[in-house]
Amino acid sequence: MFELKKSGDKFHFVLKAANGQVILTSQMYATKASAMNGIESVQKNCGKDSSFEMKTAKNGKIHFNIKATNGQIIGSSQMYAAESGAKNGIESVRKNAPGATVKEVE
């Protein structure tokens, strides 16, 4: 499920797995409509290997980003201790995003 939240005058979303764990967090968007477009972009791009980019942080932990076709980052994962965890996170996005519902939360 995608949860759409308003923070101040901006919007962002998270993608949650069935167990309630946050898999992906978006950037901040100026409007609700642009945040909804971001959700649609995750759903459209999550099936493409080229949309995902794994990175290693300075502390050695690994995370991934999902990018739109224009190269802009749509969402980022949490930090994982190992590459296998990040790969599992990518698979979870692929499994959960396409048919996910959108719920607005406070």
Angle (CA) 6 11 16, round 5°: 85
DSSP state of 97: S
The pLDDT assigned to 82 comes to 94
The pLDDT assigned to 21 comes to 92
The pLDDT assigned to 18 comes to 87
> Quick one: fold of 2-104?
PH-domain like (2.30.29)
Predicted confidence (pLDDT) at residue 106 exceeds the cutoff of 90? no
Q: List, for residues 38-84, the tens digit of each pLDDT value.
A: 999 999 999 999 999 999 999 999 999 999 989 999 999 999 999 99
Q: List, for residues 7-26, the tens digit of each pLDDT value.
A: 999 999 999 998 999 999 99
Alpha-carbon gap, residue 59 to 32, rounded angstroms: 34
What is the pLDDT averaged over residues 30-34? 96
DSSP state of 29: B
Predicted confidence (pLDDT) at residue 98 exceeds the cutoff of 90? yes
